[in-house]
């Protein structure tokens, strides 16, 4: 039996200058001792070359630092705290031995989990390796847009949209079919047995920050000229008839749903096991799969299928919506912002980062950057800033976690629902918002996100992308939440009573302290 280089790499040997010597030694052992048991040969080699087996570890203080570029500026105290946490997580991830460089986008915000967890708005580039945790469980979270002419009033369009899509946990009760489901991919070990999830989640958007956004966009001669200059003559031609008028727009945002979540779990498990063969002391969130291994090829193919499936999911929702309106799409486009892209032997991971490099034809990539439900969605051309690994932000990002946002509305341990409702009405004035599950989620309103103007300013400052057009908001649909049993907002009288009781308690506390001043040192 003859062993090749890949056999040794997959068995856990470092792919460096020592490997040729080890391979030659293995051939000699097999010839001289007549051994054909590969596992036994590897055991003998580990005794002879212990330093070359599972020899990788997280970079230390004495190792050359990996460049982390930052396209983000912090001004306020909360922004500085946010950036400090984000930077800490990225710097720890940069210690991973397969990572060669990284970047932070203007929308960067920390995530829970381990010290080396990839923050939202982060980019890492790895040599011949895919790091599942760096693209997150929401694989292929992405944007998709359709432009169409004749719409209806916003309430009617939201009614049609509600029938076209689905939000919340679980799957569709009545499946929606798409030809992508018939692709012969289910023997892939990362996709095996997931046909039902692929079907059940088609035309399904989930929850959290996923949305369906109805807007309008002015078609100007400047827009068409810039499209032509950038190499998008076909799109410019499709919109030519509408110069001087406004088109209606549907924008959707979601990922690969439960299908991608299971693939992620399998990928992370495989990464942890593979990394353990090559390295010691690597945290789970930095574990990798070598891209040129057989497992790496299987995982890569599974990711490509998730990309096709997610685009089909978007397209299904858009087609159902347009059919409900009796309209046709003039143009459609989309982009991913949670994914892995290959550039030669490098694998570029974006977790909440919009690709902004040039495509294979040399054109700057078109992309969509949402800000919040009450602000425009930006139609952009990528700036291809290599200093920042040619990415742009994927949205506005947060300075506070969801829990931190809710904490601002707590009164003696209970949420002040009236104050929350007032703030949501104020920040979404002028648009129609519909919560699919019945109750609003304040953490997904503009209250929950960084100021849109500041994010747009930093996009321009760092030349990450140039804005072609703004899709102005008309209405938005998100999952929201199911109402709690008996949930009702506080009445104005109840709010006043609580305020009076709190004031009495403060006065009593002050009086007690005045009476006992002499007891204190």
- Which residues are tagged catalytic? 394
Buried b (16+ CB within 10 A) or exposed e, 25-36: ebeebbeeeeee
Laid out side by side, the sheet with 346-351 consists of: 67-70, 99-109, 120-127, 346-351, 338-343
Map tokens 């599950």 to a residue: 437
Q: Is 254 annotated as a binding residue?
A: no
Q: Which two tokens stand for residue 63?
A: 């190792």
Cα–Cα nearest to 442, from 475, 481, 414: 481
Residues pairing with 136 in the sheet: none
Listing DSSP states for 160-221 in one string gives HHHHH--BSSS--SS----GGGGSS-TTSTTTTT-HHHHHHTTT--BSTT-EEEEEEEE--H
The kind and range of the H/E element at 254 are: strand 246-254
Cα–Cα nearest to 421, from 433, 403, 437, 436: 433
Q: Is 335 annotated as a binding residue?
A: no
Q: Is 338 annotated as a binding residue?
A: yes
Q: Is 119 annotated as a binding residue?
A: no
Quick one: the chain helix, strand, coil %, rounded to 5? Answer: 40, 20, 35
Q: What is the C-alpha separation between 345 and 408, in angstroms, rounded?
A: 47
Cα–Cα nearest to 353, from 477, 232, 464, 472: 464
Cα–Cα nearest to 393, from 439, 457, 322, 488: 457
Q: Which two tokens stand for residue 150?
A: 């004749």
Q: Is 253 annotated as a binding residue?
A: yes
Cα–Cα nearest to 329, from 160, 157, 146, 145: 146
Q: What is the C-alpha separation between 240 and 234, in angstroms, rounded?
A: 10
Q: Is 337 annotated as a binding residue?
A: yes
Q: What is the C-alpha separation between 110 and 400, in angstroms, rounded?
A: 9
Q: What is the C-alpha separation between 272 and 326, in angstroms, rounded?
A: 50
Cα–Cα nearest to 416, from 426, 427, 405, 429: 405
Listing DSSP states for 70-88 in one string gives E-----SHHHHHHHHHHHH
Q: What is the C-alpha separation between 246 and 224, in angstroms, rounded?
A: 14
**Contact present, 195 and 181 (Cβ < 8 Å):** yes
**What is the maximum alpha-carbon separation in the chain?**
94
Q: Which two tokens stand for residue 31?
A: 């010839």
Q: Is 314 annotated as a binding residue?
A: no
Q: Which residues are documented as binding site for GMP?
A: 337-338, 370-373, 394-397
Q: Which residues are documented as binding site for Mn(2+)?
A: 253, 337
Q: Which residues are documented as binding site?
A: 253, 337-338, 370-373, 394-397
């Amino acid at each position: 039996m003859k062993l090749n280089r890949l056999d040794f790499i997959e068995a856990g040997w470092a792919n460096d200058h020592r490997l040729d010597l080890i391979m030659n030694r293995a051939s000699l052992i097999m010839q001289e001792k007549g051994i054909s048991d590969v596992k036994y040969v590897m055991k003998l080699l580990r005794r002879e070359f212990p330093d070359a087996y599972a020899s990788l570890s997280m970079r230390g203080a004495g190792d050359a630092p990996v460049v982390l570029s930052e396209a983000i500026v912090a001004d306020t105290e909360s922004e500085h705290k946010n950036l400090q946490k984000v930077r800490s997580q990225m710097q720890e991830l940069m210690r991973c031995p397969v990572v060669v460089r990284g970047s932070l986008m203007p929308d960067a915000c920390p995530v829970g989990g381990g010290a080396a967890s990839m923050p939202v708005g982060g980019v890492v580039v790895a040599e011949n390796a895919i790091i599942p945790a760096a693209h997150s469980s929401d694989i292929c979270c992405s944007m998709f847009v359709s432009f169409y002419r004749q719409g209806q009033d916003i309430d009617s369009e939201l009614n049609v949209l509600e029938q076209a899509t689905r939000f919340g946990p679980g799957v569709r009760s009545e499946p929606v079919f798409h030809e992508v489901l018939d692709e012969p991919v289910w023997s892939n070990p990362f996709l095996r047995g997931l046909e039902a999830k692929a079907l059940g989640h088609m035309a399904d958007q989930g929850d959290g920050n996923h949305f369906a956004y109805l807007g309008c966009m002015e078609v100007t001669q400047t827009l068409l000229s810039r499209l032509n200059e950038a190499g998008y003559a076909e799109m410019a031609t499709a919109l030519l008839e509408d110069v001087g008028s406004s088109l209606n727009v549907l924008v959707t945002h979601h990922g690969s749903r439960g299908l991608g979540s299971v693939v992620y779990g399998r990928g992370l498990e495989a990464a942890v096991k593979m990394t353990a063969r090559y390295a010691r002391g690597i945290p789970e969130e930095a574990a990798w799969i070598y891209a040129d291994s057989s497992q790496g090829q299987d995982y890569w193919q599974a990711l490509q299928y998730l990309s096709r499936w997610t685009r089909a999911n978007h397209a299904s929702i858009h087609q159902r919506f347009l059919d409900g309106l009796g309209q046709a799409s003039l143009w459609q486009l989309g982009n991913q912002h949670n994914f892995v892209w290959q550039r030669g032997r490098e694998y570029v991971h974006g977790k909440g980062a919009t690709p902004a490099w040039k495509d294979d034809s040399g054109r700057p990539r078109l992309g969509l950057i949402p800000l919040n439900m009450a602000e425009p969605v930006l139609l952009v051309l990528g700036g291809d800033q290599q200093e920042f690994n040619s990415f742009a932000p994927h949205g506005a990002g947060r300075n506070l976690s969801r829990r931190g946002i809710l904490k601002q509305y707590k009164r003696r341990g209970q949420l002040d629902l009236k104050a929350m409702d007032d703030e949501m009405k104020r920040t979404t004035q002028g648009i129609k918002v519909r919560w699919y599950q019945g109750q609003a989620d304040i953490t997904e309103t503009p209250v929950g996100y960084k100021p849109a103007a500041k994010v747009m300013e930093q996009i321009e400052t760092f030349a990450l992308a140039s804005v072609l057009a703004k899709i102005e908001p008309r209405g938005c649909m998100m999952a929201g939440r199911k109402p709690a049993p008996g949930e009702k907002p506080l009445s104005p009288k109840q709010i006043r009573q609580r305020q009076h009781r709190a004031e009495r308690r403060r006065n009593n506390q002050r009086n007690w302290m005045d009476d006992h001043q002499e007891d204190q040192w």
